[in-house]
C-alpha cells in the first residue's frame, strides 16, 4: 500500500520477538540499512536483512531456559540437513575436550 515517500511501515513481527523491544530492533535494522545512504540501502540483499534479524533472534534465545534450548536442538536434528544452514554453513561443530583445552591454553 502507498504509505509515503520517506516513511517505513511495520505491519507485523515474528512471534519470538514478543519479549524484546520491537521498536529498538526495528530502528537498529533500519539504521544499518540506511547507514550508507539511500543508494546503499537499495543494494542490500535479503541476506543482509536475514543477518540482522538473526542477531536479534539470537539475543532472544540468550534469555531462554535450558529446556527451550534443548527443544530447539531437537527440532534442528529433526531437519533433513541439520548440520548446515540454508547457505551451507555449519550449524554444529564437534570439538573434543582436548582441543578445547589446547585452544584455551589449558594443560
Q: Is 95 contained in some domain?
A: no
Q: Is 78 contained in some domain?
A: no
Q: Is 32 contained in some domain?
A: yes
Is the per-residue pLDDT at 77 higher than 70? yes
Q: Is 82 contained in some domain?
A: no
**Region 22-27 average pLDDT:** 74
Four-point Cα dihedral 26, 63, 81, 95, nearest 10: 130
Q: Is 24 contained in some domain?
A: yes
| Backbone CA torsion sign across 8, 62, 67, 49 | positive
Q: Is 17 contained in some domain?
A: yes
What is the domain extent for residue 45?
1-63
Q: Is 38 contained in some domain?
A: yes
Task: Give the pLDDT confidence score for residue 42 in this predicted structure.
Answer: 60
Beta bridge partners of 84: 90
pLDDT category of residue 45 using cuts at 50, 70 and 90: low
Overall pTM > 0.75: no
Structurally, the chain folds into a number of domains equal to: 1
DSSP result, 1-66: ----TT--------GGGTTS-HHHHHHHHHHHHHTT-HHHHHH--HHHHHHHHHHHHHHHHHTS-H
Q: Is 86 contained in some domain?
A: no
Amino acid at each position: 500500500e502507498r504509505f509515503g515517500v520517506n516513511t517505513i511501515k511495520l505491519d507485523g513481527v515474528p512471534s519470538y520477538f514478543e519479549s524484546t523491544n520491537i521498536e529498538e530492533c526495528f530502528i537498529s535494522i533500519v539504521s544499518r540499512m540506511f547507514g550508507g545512504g539511500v543508494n546503499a540501502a537499495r543494494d542490500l540483499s535479503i541476506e543482509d536483512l536475514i543477518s540482522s534479524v538473526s542477531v536479534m533472534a539470537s539475543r532472544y534465545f540468550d534469555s531462554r531456559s535450558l529446556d527451550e534450548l534443548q527443544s530447539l536442538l531437537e527440532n534442528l536434528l529433526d531437519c533433513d540437513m541439520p548440520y548446515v544452514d540454508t547457505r551451507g554453513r555449519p550449524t554444529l561443530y564437534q570439538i573434543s575436550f582436548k582441543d578445547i583445552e589446547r585452544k584455551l591454553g589449558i594443560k
